[in-house]
Amino acid sequence: MSGRWVVVAPSRARRPGAPRPGGGEGADDRTGCPLCEGRETATPPETFAIAPPGRPPDTPGWRVRVVPNKFPAFGPWPRHGDREDGLFTRRAAVGRQEVVVHSPRHARTLGDLGVRELELVADAWQARAAAAWEAGFSYVHALVNEGAGGGASLAHSHSQLVWLEEEPPFVRLERELQEAAEGCLLCRVLAEERQQRMRVVDERDGIVLLCPFAGRQPYEMLAAPLECERQPYASPSLAAALALAAEGVRRLRVAEGPVPLNLWLHAGGHWHLEILPRFGVLAGIELGAGYFVNTMAPESAAGILRES
């Protein structure tokens, strides 16, 4: 579905000096955490919050809070077309970046959030996507980074929403491969996985969680609705998908302890969440040759997660 090739090489996990899983949480400065309830003035003014009626903005009492990212890569630059500079092309990185704070309490991972909290996170993603469409953006990239090895600079559980002017390259590539197949490719993959069973971790509320056939890293997971849905930001199933992804994160912690990870929503074609735990680093084979080396077969990973 991605066009990627993966080398499954369990013996490499046993080589001397191989990166060990775990140890992924990094430092936690709870006393200075700008995302905790009561420190609302440490962030830029909120753009959205789920809170009781009558609560003034940027005060305690909220359940989920959305604030602008203080250090965005995509910004509110003036839009202009591509500019040729000799052989080279420049384009303004137009976008907006927001931080969604998942809970007023200092939860450190999606795996610590309850079902109700995850429902409110899904509500916030959907409300902000509606605001993005309203403002003329056409794609919202929702993502979670956990642990220093996953690129997170704050320990308090949060996600980011990147409002973009167009579908980003990986999402477009997957959608095109899905559509080029006879019938939706992800629908066919899910049917096959449910028949083979060995890579399926869990299934509930119309969502399936599995370790995909060609996962890049140990315990890579995918959560997708069984229905062929195209609009996650309008789907009542988004909360269930987040809940099942969080269940996968929880099981991973039981199996391996805290592991840094990245999670993101692919909102092109048949939507899904991808969860990529960060064991080891991308090295010369991945970066130079384009082959991912996975030291744990997805079938083994799914087996361990099912029992965790």
Residue 154 C-beta: closest distance to Zn ion, Å: 8
Nearer Cβ to Zn ion (209/256): 209
Nearer Cβ to Zn ion (11/31): 31
Q: Measure the CA–CA gap between 160 and 219, rounded to whole angstroms.
A: 23
Nearer Cβ to Zn ion (29/135): 29
Residue 276 C-beta: closest distance to Zn ion, Å: 10
Q: What is the dihedral of CA 276, 279, 285, 287, to 10 degrees?
A: 50
Residue 94 C-beta: closest distance to Zn ion, Å: 23
Residue 182 C-beta: closest distance to Zn ion, Å: 12
Q: Measure the CA–CA gap between 14 and 143, rounded to whole angstroms.
A: 32
Contact residues: Zn ion, CB under 5 A: 33, 35-36, 106, 156, 174, 184, 186-187, 228, 266, 270
Asked if residue 152 lies in contact with residue 26, where contact means CB atoms within 8 angstroms, the answer is yes
Asked if residue 67 lies in contact with residue 45, where contact means CB atoms within 8 angstroms, the answer is yes
Nearer Cβ to Zn ion (13/173): 173
Residue 243 C-beta: closest distance to Zn ion, Å: 19
Residue 12 C-beta: closest distance to Zn ion, Å: 25
Residue 90 C-beta: closest distance to Zn ion, Å: 28
- For residue 296, give Cα distances in angstroms to 216, 276, 292, 301, 308: 9, 13, 12, 7, 16
Nearer Cβ to Zn ion (94/213): 213
Nearer Cβ to Zn ion (65/270): 270
Nearer Cβ to Zn ion (19/34): 34
User: What's the chain's length in residues?
Assistant: 308
Taking CA 246 as the corner, what is the angle to CA 241 and CA 252, rounded to the nearest 5 degrees? 130
